[in-house]
Amino acid sequence: QVQLQESGPGLVKPSETLSLICGVSGGSISGYYWSWIRQPPGKGLEWIGFIHSSGSTTYNPSLKSRVTISVDTAKNQFSLSLTSVTAADTALYYCARVFRTVTEAFDIWGQGTMVTVSS
């Protein structure tokens, strides 16, 4: 079955760029939409954006000026870049597959990776 695994630095300095990769195993990345979602410690979930395997993207307007999501179909992975980070970006970052029917739901999730923004 399809599995997702996030990877990247657990600590990022303020004003720098957060970069994460989500590796997809057990299935192809092609033909699907993929998403990043984050959860600050003890808080709720925030959708960051999604990307189709073709490369088309949709971002949360609140983060759009700082976010880039890209896909590498050859490596079966997609990535997140968030620039100019502050302490408010400290969160558990999840990647997820988008299940599109009548609605868009997140049906497969990675385990999450904690990113702390601190000097």
Partner 1 sequence: DIQMTQSPSSLSASVGDRVTITCRASQSISSHLNWYQQKPGKAPKLLIYAASSLQSGVPSRFSGTGSETDFTLTLSSLQPEDFATYYCQQSYSVPLSFGGGTKVEIK
**Interface residues with partner 1 (CB under 8 A)?**
44-47, 58, 60-62, 94, 96, 99, 101-107, 109-112
Smallest separation, CB 74 to partner 1 (Å): 26
Q: Please list, in sequence order, all residues whose beta carbon lies within 8 angstroms of the beta carbon of residue 88, skipping any fewer than 6 positions away.
A: 40, 117
Look at residues 33, 10, 30, 31 and name the one whose alpha carbon lies nearest to residue 20.
Answer: 10
CA–CA separation, 31 and 15 (whole Å) = 35
Smallest separation, CB 8 to partner 1 (Å): 16
Nearer to partner 1, 65 or 119 (CB): 65
Nearer to partner 1, 101 or 119 (CB): 101
